[in-house]
Amino acid sequence: MKIIKKFLVIPQAISYFFLTTTAFAQSKITEWIGEVDEGVGSDLEAWLPKVLNYAIGLSAFVSVAIIVSSGYMYITAGGDEEKIRKAGKSLTYAVVGLIICVISVILVRFVLVKFLEQ
């Protein structure tokens, strides 16, 4: 295990020292803050949909990652009943989470159209 850790440090060091192009210290920080702050509105109506979309997207990504992980766990169970049961449970919960994400997208769009008129 120690040998694997040593071999993983080498590519990280190479990418850290040789593959970086710019640093934030090299650019004017006020320009960078201006670019970031430019697209964000100050009111709740502009901010809320963006935050909700990012949160729903992140939760959908996590659900898909869990589906892939539980599928791998199911394939590599090797006939062990406990591992198969655990993989089936996590697969069921991940699919339920993905369905909740889809329903929440529909619900958020409905609320935005009906109440906030966007």
The tens digit of pLDDT for each residue in 49-104 reads 788 888 888 999 999 999 999 999 999 998 889 999 999 999 999 999 999 999 98
Cβ burial of 63 (10 Å; 0-12, 13-18, 19+) is buried
First CA to last CA across the chain, in angstroms?
A: 54
In this prediction, residue 24 carries a pLDDT of 47
Tokens 């295990």 sit on residue = 1
φ/ψ of residue 34, rounded to 5: -65, -40
Cα angle for residues 18, 23, 26 (degrees, 5° grid): 120
